[in-house]
Structure 1
C-alpha cells in the first residue's frame, strides 16, 4: 500500500495488512516533519483532568505515540478508525505515560469518520488527525469541522501538492501534476479534495469562529531513507500513470533514472505537507 488516497475514511472495513506496514514505514518521517511549535500553542489551551484526546483515523497510533509524551497530566485517548486491526494495533502501542509521568489510558471506537457529530466528540479537550483531510470531500470536511467546532483541533500532515526533487528532471512537474489530479479524482461517487483539502478546512474553521494557524510539515527523503523513498515513489508514479496513461512510456526511463540517483546518493526530494491548528477564538 503506497498511497493513502486508496483509503476511504468512511466505511467500516478491514484494510489489507500492507496498509499498516506503510503507516509504520512512514512514521519516522511523519514525526520528523510535524510542526512542534503548534504543540506549544495547543498545550496552553488544553483543559480537562484527564485531558480527553480524540484521534480521528488513528491508523497504527502514530499521533498518540508522538503527542502523548509531549503533553502533561493524565490523558485519555479515544482512537477512531474504520479498521479493527489498526485500532487494536494502535491501542496496544500508545505510550503509558505523559510528559510528567501521569497515566495515559486508551479506548477505541470503530466507525465512519465522515459521519461524526459534535455529540460524538463531547467532552474532548483536543481533536487530532494525521494525513486525513486530503482523503475527504468538501462535504465531508464541512461535517468534520462542524463536529470539531468549539474545541482545539490539530490536523497534521495533509498533502498540498508540492514535490521538489534535487536535482530536477524535466518530467518531475508533469508527473506531479498528474498525481495531484489523481488525488482530486472522483471515486465511488466521492470527489476527493486532495491537495486542496487543508485550505478548505482552514476556511471552514474560520467560519466556525476559530483562529487558524498553518505550518509546513515536509518530508525530506533521500539516500538515508531508501525504503520509504521507494514506497512513496512507486505509489506516486503509479497514481500519476493511472491518471494519465500516456505517461506510462516515459515513466519507465524516468523511474530507472530516479532510482539510480537515490541509490548513488545524489537525489533528495521534499514532499510538502501542512499542519493545521484551529483554536476557539478567545474574546477579550
Structure 2
C-alpha cells in the first residue's frame, strides 16, 4: 500500500485548503487558551497582523476571544487561501512573502499558527525584532516540538521519529528550517530583546476522535521520514497498515507535541514605532 500523504506535505509552506480544514478542529482544541487572557487588556480598536494566515483558522479561533472592535491584516502567499480567510475573519488580505514584510508599526498584536517551524533562525530573529520595534504583543501557536507518543508503541516508531525530525530541519533552497527547534529559538530571540515570554504545551491528541486527520498525519509523517531516510521505505507499507488497522479498531492514539508562545513587550524595551498599518 502507498504511504504517501494525500493533502499535505510536512515541512512545506504550501498548504491545501482541504488539509487546513481537516486540521482546524484539532488545532482549536490544542491551542493554549489561557494565553489569550493577558491579551484582553490590549488597546482598542485592536489591530492584529496574522502572518501566514492560511484559510483564517487562527482568526476564527482568536477573534471571538479578544475585545472588539478589531482590525485584522491577513498575510499569506496564497491568494486562494486569503480569499477563504477574508470571508470569515474581519480583516484585510495582504498577499506576499513573509520575507517582504519590513514593518509591523501600528499593530497591537502579531499572530501566527503552525508557521515558526517553517522559518529559519534568521527569519525568526527578524520577526522578533519587527514585533518588538512595533511594541506589539505576539501569540504564536502550534509550533512542532518533535515530541510524539504513539499508543500502542512499535519498534519502528523511533526510527520514523528521528528521520521525520531531520526532515523538518532540512535545508530548502538554501534555507535551513528550524522544525522542532522553532519554539525555543523564538522564545530566546524575544527574551534577548527584553520581551516577556510565556510558553505552554499545545499537543494534538489524535485517534478515534479525528480519524481522517490521524490517517493523513500518519501518511505525511511516513512520507517525510522515507524521503529523509529511503531505507525506511521497505517497512513503510506494513507499518502504515498496522497503524491504520489499529486506528480503525479504535486502539490507536497519538499525542503530537506543539508549543504556544505568548510574548508581551517590555515597558522599558526599544522605542515604540508608530504609523499606519
Distance change >3 Å, CA 43–CA 4, structure 1 → 2: farther
The equivalent residue for 1:29 is 26
The equivalent residue for 2:62 is 67
The match for 1:138 among 107, 121, 124 is 121
Answer whether contact 2:203 2:257 (CA < 8 A) is retained.
yes
Answer whether contact 1:116 1:144 (CA < 8 A) is retained.
no
The equivalent residue for 2:77 is 82
The match for 1:126 among 100, 109, 114 is 109
CA distance in 1, matches of 2:155, 2:120: 32
The equivalent residue for 1:204 is 189
- Gaps (5+ residues) in structure 2? 1-6, 269-277
CA distance in 1, matches of 2:37, 2:206: 26
CA distance in 2, matches of 1:240, 1:273: 19
SS in 1 for 2:150: strand
The equivalent residue for 1:231 is 216
CA distance in 2, matches of 1:282, 1:33: 30
Dislocated runs of 4+, deviation >6 Å: none
- Gaps (5+ residues) in structure 1? 8-14, 95-104
Larger relative contact order, structure 1 or 2 (CA cutoff 8 Å, min sep 6): 2
The alpha carbon displacement at 1:42 in A equals 2.1
CA distance in 2, matches of 1:73, 1:90: 19
The equivalent residue for 1:101 is none
TM-score (norm 1): 0.89
The alpha carbon displacement at 1:282 in A equals 3.9
SS in 1 for 2:82: helix
CA distance in 1, matches of 2:189, 2:86: 31
Q: How many residues align?
A: 260
The C-alpha deviation readout for 1:59-101, integer Å capped at 9, x for no partner, is: 000011001111122000100001111111100122xxxxxxx
CA distance in 2, matches of 1:69, 1:81: 21
CA distance in 2, matches of 1:6, 1:253: 26
CA distance in 2, matches of 1:123, 1:181: 38
TM-score (norm 2): 0.91
Q: Does 1:187 align with 2:187?
A: no
Answer whether contact 2:10 2:168 (CA < 8 A) is retained.
no
The alpha carbon displacement at 1:116 in A equals 1.8
The alpha carbon displacement at 1:4 in A equals 4.5
Answer whether contact 1:50 1:76 (CA < 8 A) is retained.
yes
CA distance in 2, matches of 1:209, 1:3: 36
SS in 2 for 1:259: helix
The alpha carbon displacement at 1:115 in A equals 3.2
The match for 1:2 among 4, 8, 12 is 8
CA distance in 2, matches of 1:176, 1:186: 18
After TM superposition, the structure 1 = structure 2 runs for residues 259-270 of structure 1, keeping only pairs within 5 Å, are 259-270=244-255
